[in-house]
Amino acid sequence: MKIAIIRKTYTYYGGAEGFSGRFIDLLAAKGHEIHIFAIRWQADVSHPNIHFHKVPAISGVSFLRDLTFAVTSSVLLRKQRKYFDIIQTHDKTLYQDIYRAGDGCHIEWLRQRWKRTGLAGKISIICNPYHWLILLLERSILRGNRFRVIIAISNMVKENIIRHYGVDPEKIEILYNGVDLDRFNPENRGKYRRDIRQSCGIKEKDFVILFVGSGFERKGVKYLLQAVEAVPEPVTVMIVGKGALNRGALSSRQKIIFCGPRKDIERYYAAADIFVFPTMYEPFGNVHLEALASGLPVITTENSGAAEIIADGEQGFVIQRPEDTASLSEKVNYFLQRRDRLESMSSKARKLAEEFSNERHMGKVLELYENIVSRR
């Protein structure tokens, strides 16, 4: 098949961007001809089946960048419609066969943020033109029926789309993400655990909590730091990613290590004991699958689509609200008091991840493509 994939940019540390890069590589490896339409693409595009098309856009200001990208990508794809079997967007654009709602619903993210911010934060949301643009694009796509099929990466996202935009449920396919089970593997502990811990000044006996993600506000770093402050025993928190954070929120009792964005992220999973992700809103979160595949029990919130696949008390724990830091502290402390449970939960975490291989995901995507092409 000849497939067009639309995504503004690629950066190695972005979850959604990272998914797009891996997705494209897997399609190309299966012999499909892939055309990337983007402003810039930092990943390797030397594969003979991958072709890059630069989309003109006004960079520098996010409002103008997203607006011009949506318009110009639509113009380019309409002109080349007859060339492609499938046009799939991973962004909020105006012309496509498949709208992959990998970023979830912006209106739902704002709703969750509104509930948890003060007056200044509410004024910031109202006065920020970027939010109004994204809401306009989202509404134009979903209520304007600018798609043949929507891919929702969790049932939570599907319900968000139906509730806020009244989309016919029959037009929404739930396709959970896949994970590289070789790259993210419990065997990495024997390869990388000691080196990463030594480089971060962490002792082998120390209990390490890992957080991975960029955009600290939405993904709940503040709540994680508040929770570990109340944990009675010493713990170390490794934060991999980038984002803004009020340094006054830093724990004075526990060891907090900011590692920045990392390409070798599998090594950091290998160095940790559990994974904690107290997000306000996360459509799914590839990091959940990466942690599970690495054999890490996961603590997350009901505001994450990945909570749908985690059985509470089996592969980790799901708390109701990210601001419930008492419950989060309690779950962390559970592992400190019951370290014997780490091994069994680790095994169950890995077993769960094996149900979400990249191969399974690609099989479902290609089946969807074939159905769309056959109906055209």
Beta bridge partners of 40: 9
Per the structure block, which two tokens stand in for 26? 């897997």
Q: Is the pLDDT of residue 249 over 80?
A: no
Using pLDDT thresholds of 50, 70 and 90, give the confidence band for residue 248: low
* Tokens linked to 348: 């169950």
Instruction: Give residue-wise pLDDT tens across range 326-346.
Output: 999 999 999 999 888 899 999
Q: Quote the pLDDT of residue 265.
A: 96
Nearest one of 373, 362, 372 to 31, comparing CA atoms: 362
Please state, in angstroms and as integers, the Cα–Cα distance from residue 19 to each residue in 67, 90, 116, following that order.
23, 10, 29
State the Cα–Cα distance between residues 147 and 137, nearest whole angstrom.
Answer: 13
Residue 153: per-residue pLDDT = 97
Question: Is pLDDT above 90 for 211?
Answer: yes
Higher pLDDT, 23 or 66: 66
Summarised one tens digit per residue, pLDDT across range 116-150 is 999 999 999 999 999 999 999 999 999 999 999 99
CA–CA dist 271, 267 (Å, integer): 6
Concatenate the DSSP letters of all residues of 259-311 into one string: ----S-HHHHHHH-SEEEE--S-BSS-HHHHHHHHTT--EEEETTBGGGGTPP
Q: In the chain, what percentage of residues exceed pLDDT 90? A: 85
Q: How many CB atoms lie within 10 A of CB 253?
A: 12
Which residue segments constitute the domains of the chain, with CATH numbers given? Answer: 2-178+357-375 (3.40.50.2000), 188-355 (3.40.50.2000)
pTM for this prediction: 0.93
Per-residue DSSP letter, 245:
-
Does 184 score more than 70 pLDDT? yes
